[in-house]
Structure 1
Amino acid sequence: MPAKSPLRHLLVCTALAALAGCRPDPLPPLDQQLYIWQRQWRPDHAQALAESRADFSTLRVLALQAQPKVGWSRALVDLPQLKADGRPVIAVVRLDGQLPALDLQVAQTQIARLLADWQAAGMTPFGLEIDHDSGNARLPGYTAFLLSLREQLPPGVKLSITALPAWLDSPHLPALLQAVDSSVLQVHAVSDPRRGLFDPVQAKQWAERWSRISNKPFYLALPAYGVALLPDSGGAPVVESEAPLDRIGVRRELLADPQQLADLSRQLRQQPPAHLAGLIWFRLPLPGDRRAWSLTTLNAVARGDTLASHWQVERSGQAGHYDISLVNVGNLDLPLPARVELSTGACEGADGLNGYRLQQSSQHLVFNRQSSARVAAGGRRVLGWARCQGIDQGAWNVYP
């Protein structure tokens, strides 16, 4: 009996899909991983790790860095806490792109000491990631550095690198990728910051191009944070990230849009580029991190949940003395609204707090925003107080 042609088999499967079970198997979900980038761990890490465990398979932890004029320094990682978390860990070594040269001997010594100290503490990393923003002209030297470094790693430790889209135009990229087990393509904060922190269309294009060059697994590093731009005397912007800068000037805040990232994640799940192994989110947020998504929002985006949130106004107190709060209900962080209006009875006194100024009439309290901020999903912010005969719990309006 002659074999069926592929076309005939496809037509049969299409016609009888529901009965014959010819539907293709569903695509597996993309792996989700998480960067931990704090240089000094805090007690808050314990709760953040616990709340992230269900949604992120692997932790990539800043462990060691080399900077011009500063030299080598280690992040103060809580190794017992990291061990107790139980997830696979990849130690990240940050080599500043402004270093005049990569000293292989010194780097090997520093990395060997790091891995030995971690292992002595019972924490053996699954892999090592080198984060180095090399210029294209220096890629051959960087490749030689990685090949030598890989030979010195303990057995079983995988080597990966953070990679830049600018390398896509280099003829040396294929050799570089052959020197490592996997790569992490960074698609955020890679161009002029005045053009924005992230472009989802461009990110997808870069991923598609990368998949045609790399025959090894690669990941996309995606942003879950924001930065501020400050003007410099020369006209170029200065970027303020986690640590505040001692500079005067109006700050222009840039924040990665959770909905944009959720849409891109969904597209990548539906049509993943070849060899794309997963997504890595930068970075694990801690309470008080003013330039990062809340962990609630980050978890929701990673899971592919529908993002939705809105404000609720709540009052608390007794004997006519009320604290008035905004509560962010849902899974999406929100900027403070411009105006909040409440219907009240006669009030003896009232005032705005936390960046709100009060306008008062005989039957209304109007709180007007004077400064910008964000409230995390599930968070609350007291916007004022009032001593009134009554506040109508259901008669309020919030204006973006």
Structure 2
Amino acid sequence: MKRGMMALLLLALALTAWFAGRHQALRLPPPRDNQIYIWQRVWTPQHATALAQSRDLFSTLRVLGAQAHPREGWREIPVNLPQLQQDGRPMWLVARLDGQLAQLDESAIRQRLVKQVLQWQAAGLQVIGIEIDHDAATARLPDYQYFLQQLRRQLPSSLQLGITALPAWIGSPALPGVLQQADSSVLQVHAVLSPQQGLFTAPLALRWVKQYAKITSKPFRVALPAYGMGLLGVDAQGAQVESEASLRVAGNPRELTVAPQQVADFLQQLDTQAVPHLRGVIWFRLPLADDRRAWSLNTLRAVIEQQPLNASWQVKFSPQPQQNGLYDLIIHNNGPVDAPLPREITVAATDCLAADAAGNYRLESGPQRQRFVLISGDQLRAGQSRPLGWLRCQQLTPGGTLVIP
């Protein structure tokens, strides 16, 4: 081969290798499979809207269909089966088991679950599995293993069996035996550990995922929060919380929220990790229009699609007619996504006769400024407003309002 042709061949090989390496470097990670929990115990017309608007986001639905409690017994959730049949997506029937198995009629639960899933399939639903959500005490995992083993024997072979797993189980020698009874599992990384830690801590969640992946030999997904809750108190039995439904307990709950940016940062970190057996994410929960503690669907979409999550706040001053210098103050989320309420809002004004805060804020008055300080966190959906307080001042300083997220 002539020297010139050899040089051209070597150049072509070098360019091919360079382009291949560049393509490899620019290649995006495979799309993450996203599923959604439908956890409302009362179905409303809002479900139809939420399901229709989320079809392109979630491949599979996980529907709360039954709940067992030692005092309340067995309860089937009145799910809108025709609506789910029309939706047509694959789905799991989720059964929530509260309390210890020793207090529940395990045999009856298994029989009712099999009967219910067959009824759902007969109604035209594409049920592919049953998921058991049971917060078993770590010491009782062997009992849970036996329950799952018996349930697996009763289920049709065409159905998968899944479970929700708790991070507290990770150090237990009984966990591998429990996981062997299920076809897959869902690691729940959101919970009330303490009022200070809130519902979700990204570094802790990432550590749990890595530890769990070393234990399980089966496919698993991670359940992530897209909601907040009200903390009513913490006692020896754990946290008493209020989420999608009111507990009708006296007193004002402390609101615990999860900022969308927290979860978005966690997902970015997760995408850089090689996690064996991890198959995707399940979001808790399907947002309805009147579910004030759940993220809006627009926000959930923005997190999933890795869109910017920039917050934008506006303080609106509403003068009261025939009340010289009296203003009602409103904090408005002017951004594209839900966001936690700002930590502090300062209004520059002079000759103020009186002022007060409202809702989630307390007031610190000064000679030339009124400072509203957050005392109870909460999430405010995009486009929504909330009372901040009021003030009676002779003059508001133009451009003198400062919002600290």
**Residue 28 (structure 1) shift:** 1.0
CA distance in 2, matches of 1:237, 1:65: 20
Q: Give the secondary structure class of the aligned counterpart of 2:185.
A: strand
TM-score where L is the length of structure 2: 0.78
Deviations 1:302-359 (A, max 9, x none): 2222211202467999x9999986542222324167547599xxxxxxx99988999x
Separation in 1 of the partners of 2:291 and 2:220? Answer: 29
Corresponding residue of 2:382: 377
Using structure 1 for the length normalisation, give the TM-score: 0.79
1:241 is matched by which residue type in structure 2?
E
Deviation at 1:194, TM superposition (A): 5.2
Q: CA deviation at 1:83?
A: 1.9
* Structure 2, unaligned runs of 5 or more: 1-12, 350-355
Mapped to 1, the partners of 2:270 and 2:360 lie a distance apart of: 40
Residue 145 of structure 1 and its aligned partner are, at CA, apart by 2.0
The residue number in structure 2 matching 1:187 is: 189
Q: Distance between the aligned counterparts of 1:173 and 1:28, measured in 2? A: 30
Which residue does 1:299 correspond to in 2?
A: 301
Is it true that 1:23 corresponds to 2:24 in the alignment?
A: yes
What letter corresponds to residue 18 of structure 1 in structure 2? W
Q: 1:235 to 1:215 in 2, by over 3 A?
A: closer
Cα deviation code 1:202-222 (max 9, x no counterpart): 111111111111121101111
Residue 149 of structure 1 is matched in structure 2 by: 151
Residue of structure 1 equivalent to 2:341? 335
| Alpha-carbon separation, structure 2, partners of 1:340 and 1:118 | 55
Contact 1:226-1:255 within 8 A present in 2 as well: yes
For the Cα contact (< 8 Å) 1:222–1:279, is it kept in 2? yes
Secondary structure of 2:218's match?
coil
Give the alignment partner of residue 53 of structure 1, picking from 33, 52, 55. 55
* Distance across 2 between alignment mates of 1:368 and 1:297: 26
Q: Identify the residue that residue 125 of structure 2 maps to in structure 1.
A: 123
> Counterparts in 2 of 1:80-229, with a 5 A limit?
80-101=82-103, 103-189=105-191, 191-192=193-194, 195-229=197-231
| 2-structure distance, mates of 1:236, 1:177 | 26
State whether residues 211 and 273 of structure 1, in contact with CA within 8 Å, keep that contact through their aligned partners in structure 2: yes
Q: Deviations for 1:172-231, whole angstroms, at most 9, x for unmatched residues?
A: 222222211111011111644554322211111111111111121101111122223334
* Residue aligning to 2:292: 290
- Please give the secondary structure, in 2, of the residue aligned with 1:309: coil
Superposed CA deviations along residues 67-115 of structure 1, whole A, max 9, x for unmatched, are 0111000112111112222221111011113342554421222112211
SS of 1:87's equivalent in the other structure is: coil
Q: Does 293-302 or 321-330 show the bigger shift?
A: 321-330
Q: Which amino acid aligns with 2:338?
A: L
Tell me the distance in 2 between the aligned counterparts of 1:370 and 1:270.
35
Structure 1 counterpart of 2:213, one-letter code: S
Matched, 1:399 2:403: yes
| Cα offsets for 1:22-49 (capped at 9, x unmatched) | 8376431221111111111111112222
Pair 202,316 (structure 1): closer, same or farther in 2 beyond 3 Å: closer
Whole-Å separation in 1 of the counterparts to 2:14 and 2:297: 43
Given that residues 70 and 103 in structure 2 are in contact (C-alpha distance below 8 angstroms), is that contact kept between their aligned partners in structure 1? no
Give unmatched runs, 5+ long, in structure 1.
1-12, 344-350, 359-363
RMSD value, Cα: 4.0
Matching residue of 2:240 = 239
Letter in 2 for 1:183: S
Does the 8 Å CA contact 2:164/2:185 hold for their aligned counterparts? Answer: yes
Contact 2:332 2:384 in 1 (8 A): yes
Q: What is the total number of aligned residue pairs between the two structures?
A: 382
Distance in 2 (alpha carbons) for counterparts of 1:192 and 1:356: 22
Task: Report the more deviating stretch, 100-109 or 208-217.
Answer: 100-109
1:290 deviates by 2.8
1:32-47 equivalences under 5 Å are 32-47=34-49
Work out whether residues 188 and 197 of structure 1, in 8 Å CA contact, stay in contact via their aligned partners in 2: yes
Equivalent AA in structure 2 for residue 106 of structure 1: A
Alpha-carbon separation, structure 2, partners of 1:86 and 1:320: 58
Which moves more between the two structures, 286-295 or 21-30? 21-30
CA distance in 2, matches of 1:284, 1:110: 26
